[in-house]
A and B are shown apart, each in its own frame.
Chain A
């Protein structure tokens, strides 16, 4: 089959809010859904300053570890209306996504991954999205078995672990510096 060359990415620029603002985009589920949690965090630049013009998108499995998608061969989910996708701008100083905590997801090779949320981060000054994962600090046993986390040095692993808060979890993202978040090539 002839391979076509892929279209190169470009920055979202400073005016992303014009095109990429969705009413309720940050609600993967309505906030009054049983079990709903808020994932929150600040995005920091290399000076340690919060970035007010970034956008965080999240993609995740439902609490059973299933995806509302035809390429998940395990079939329908028990959570109608749970699309798994959220989009939050950081103009308030932090991102905030209301969702359900994902379940463990098969790794496709007989094992299980720890609960995680895939994250795309876009901003002026980033010519492509950067990708990371949110894991959950209170899933120690699952995290210890997760191949992706196990592949990282201990101190780097910490940059992916969201910590429990009153209404969910918190994970700050650091684009640079000593605490630079682990970013992934996908």
Chain B
């Protein structure tokens, strides 16, 4: 037999759609690379069915004990200001998102990525590869030890510099919750000229900036930064379940 049945209604969670005025648009004219890449047609609303309210619950087998410490790689210690980045992954209903994979990548202290396409004249660090992975705990908490990434120039406009940032990738527990984003540092003087930061609607920009966390600074070792990540909420709003006879 196949397991596919069609006759019953299913109680599925429904994921809140974020107000368009608080979401980063896919395209943004000042970020030139979006010109030939961001789709031009209006996206079609996709109802949240089983495929959308489920998602990959994975990562455990992709994460090793040393993946949360980016400062000890390739047989030595990374150069730069050692920092601890920590926070919680929550949904917009305020519930923690436990046991979910958090992937990060970043430039080194000099602002250079270990990537074949990045060849600006800043040094590579032989002991920094810029990759981290961790699972959130049962309270949705995550923590990395890394070095503070440097700013770096890019070709978007004259004298363009990316503010220091760490890339984050999260799954949550549903396809609707998938998020790739960037974490910034407080009071970065480069924000004003960065189209990737400024593509975020003004009312949401503060959510992309970490907080200096003196409480989590480790004496004689590392500065602390805190950044909570909020994925879309999953209010359990059942479909109508009474049999009202209009089954397709």
Taking Cβ atoms with an 8 Å cutoff, the residues of A that contact B are: 1-20, 22, 45-47, 51, 53, 57, 59-61, 63-74, 77-78, 83-85, 103-113, 116, 118, 120, 122-131, 133, 147-148, 151-152, 175-176, 180-186
Interface digits, B213-241 against A, CB 8 Å rule (1 contact, 0 not)?
A: 00000000000000001111100000100
Q: Mark B35-64, 1 if CB is under 8 A from A, else 0.
A: 111111101111111111111111000100
Give the complex CA separation of A67 and B53 in angstroms. 10
- Contact A186/B37 with A18-B130, A110-B6 known, Cβ cut-off 8 Å: no
B interface residue count range (under 10 / 10 to 19 / 20 to 34 / 35 or more): 35 or more
Q: Which residues of A sit under 8 angstroms from B199, Cβ to Cβ? A: 127
Q: Which residues of B contact A (CB under 8 A)?
A: 2-13, 15-18, 22-28, 31, 33-41, 43-58, 62, 90-94, 103-105, 113-115, 117-118, 129-132, 167, 169, 173-176, 178-182, 196, 199-201, 204-205, 207-208, 229-233, 239, 246-248
Q: Determine the distance from Cα of A186 to Cα of B22 in the docked complex, in whole angstroms.
A: 15
Chain A residue nearest to B205 in the complex (CB): A8
Residues of chain B contacted by A74 (CB below 8 angstroms): 3, 5
User: Residues of A contacting B246 with CB < 8 Å?
Assistant: 110
Cα separation A118 to B49 with both chains bound (whole Å):
11
B182 touching A64, Cβ below 8 Å: no
| Chain A residues, CB < 8 A from B3 | 64-66, 74, 77-78, 103
- A59 and B208 in contact (CB under 8 A), knowing A127-B25, A180-B39? no
Q: Which residues of B contact A65 (CB under 8 A)?
A: 2-4
B contact patch SS:
loop
Q: Are A19's CB and B131's CB within 8 A?
A: yes
Asked if residues A1 and B26 are in contact (CB atoms below 8 Å), the reply is: no
Shortest CB-to-CB span from A51 to chain B, Å, is 7
Which residues of chain A have C-beta atoms less than 8 A from B37's C-beta? 45-46, 51, 123-126, 175-176
Q: If A12-B180, A69-B57, A109-B239 touch, does A126 touch B9 (CB 8 Å cutoff)?
A: no
Within the assembled complex, what's the spacing in Å between the Cα atoms of A8 and B93? 16
Count of inter-chain pairs, beta carbons less than 8 A: 280
Given contacts A45-B37, A69-B55, contact A19 B103 (CB under 8 A): yes
Closest 10 CB pairs of A and B: A19-B105, A125-B33, A110-B247, A111-B248, A125-B37, A85-B56, A64-B3, A69-B54, A184-B46, A46-B36
Q: Least Cβ distance of A95 to chain B in Å?
A: 15
Cα-based distance from A30 to B22 in the complex (angstroms): 41
